[in-house]
Amino acid sequence: MPAIETGRICIKTTGRNAGQKVTIIEVGQDNFVKIANKSGILEKCNIRHLFPTKEKTNISEIKTKDKKIKETKPKQKTKRNLKQKKEKKSPKESSTKEKEGEQ
């Protein structure tokens, strides 16, 4: 009986969702698996961060949002990073405007 297999219910041990029950949807390579939480949102997780339980379920019984497996998107950039990028671009734009004005 492999501990990490499709349909196995596990408990996350680290991260912001620590202590939450999740289900393994797909076993990938390099110690990573796709998991679904009770909200139906998929995440990629390292198997070192999971504690497998004795419980197992059918994947067809897992309820996901919109009846499709929904993957999480990468986090959006913060306002601070966006402001810094705009500030870096603005001096370049002003220097090109000055060159155009000189000609």
- Rounded to two decimals, the pTM is 0.59
- Check whether 73 has a pLDDT greater than 60: no
Mean pLDDT of the chain: 76
Distance CA 96, CA 103 (A): 11
Q: CA-to-CA distance for 36 and 42, rounded, in angstroms?
A: 4
Q: Which CATH architecture has domain 8-102?
A: Roll (2.30)
Task: Categorize the per-residue pLDDT at 66 as very low, low, confident or very high, splitting at 50, 70 and 90.
Answer: very low
Mean pLDDT to the nearest integer, 53-68: 70
Q: Please say whether the beta carbons of 10 and 22 come within 8 A.
A: yes
Residue 103, pLDDT score? 57
